[in-house]
Amino acid sequence: MILHLNNQQYIDTSKGIDISIPLTNDENNPLAWYVDKPVFEAVKAEGYVGSVALGGSVNFRNIFFNPHGHGTHTECLGHITPEIHSVNQGLKNAFLTAELITITPEKVWNEKENCWDDVITKEQIKESIKSKQIQAIVLRTNPNTIDKKSKNYSATNPAYLDVSCVEILNEREVEHFLIDLPSVDRENDEGKLLFHHAFWQVPDNPQFQKTITEFIYVDENIKDGVYLLNLQTAPFENDATPSRPVLFEIFEK
């Protein structure tokens, strides 16, 4: 279906680009934060089994997973506040103007940890964002290999964003940030979560409407530029929820 955005622009709703990573119960599922893989298991009780293959009438399975550690998820400031605010209550608009950007993190020496970190800098963010008015930024990092969809990131010190990047996002009035890494912050930062706190302005000026989406995957053949983003989220009353961000190319008439 063709959906007209205005007199000059439209999208084709049949050509959505899904940038989420599916949740599975096998070794192909990505992992972070030292969690084991998700578990899908048939309910069993007093002679009943929720598996057609095992003789049951239907497949009826429990699923055990962690939104933060098992794949694409969207989170709100409840992730870092004493009270667990719900992302389901904070995200009011599921259709957003978004710009896809691609950045190769810089090597920065971390004196405290005595190692090289891969860091996305303020200058890189500033140079990469071309749009002046945009609601969401989708960040694809290099190298952009297919193993992002199945990698175990635990204890690997993945790339992260310098907290000063938030200054640029605030200048551009960006309220939704999406990234193809398990976190915007350093894996081991002594629990400071500097980017999270700065982006949500916690505790001084909490921004309940802002979201961060992590663990996406943007294929190489998708070009940088402006898209319409449909940020689909499961209605969990939790600080984070599994999500399915879908990009739509904007066509000019």
The per-residue pLDDT for range 211-234, each reduced to its tens digit, is 999 999 999 999 999 999 999 999
- Short-list 109, 111, 144, 139, CA closest to 124: 139
Tell me the per-residue pLDDT of 131-175, one tens digit each, with 9 for 90 and over. Answer: 988 999 999 999 999 999 999 999 999 999 999 999 999 999 999
Tell me the whole-structure pTM to 2 decimals.
0.96
CATH topology of domain 2-24+70-252: Glucose Oxidase; domain 1 (3.50.30)
Confidence (pLDDT) at 208:
97
Q: Residue 47: what pLDDT? A: 87
pLDDT by residue (tens digit) across 95-145? 999 999 999 999 999 998 899 999 999 999 999 999 988 999 999 999 999
Q: Which residues partner with 73 through β-bridges?
A: 214, 242
Is residue 77 a contact partner of residue 83, using CB atoms and an 8 Å limit?
no
Rounded Cα–Cα distance for residues 136 and 179 (Å): 11
pLDDT of residue 7: 85
What gap in Å lies between CA 215 and CA 85, rounded to an integer?
A: 21
First to last CA, the chain: 15
pLDDT classification of 41: cutoffs 50, 70, 90: very high
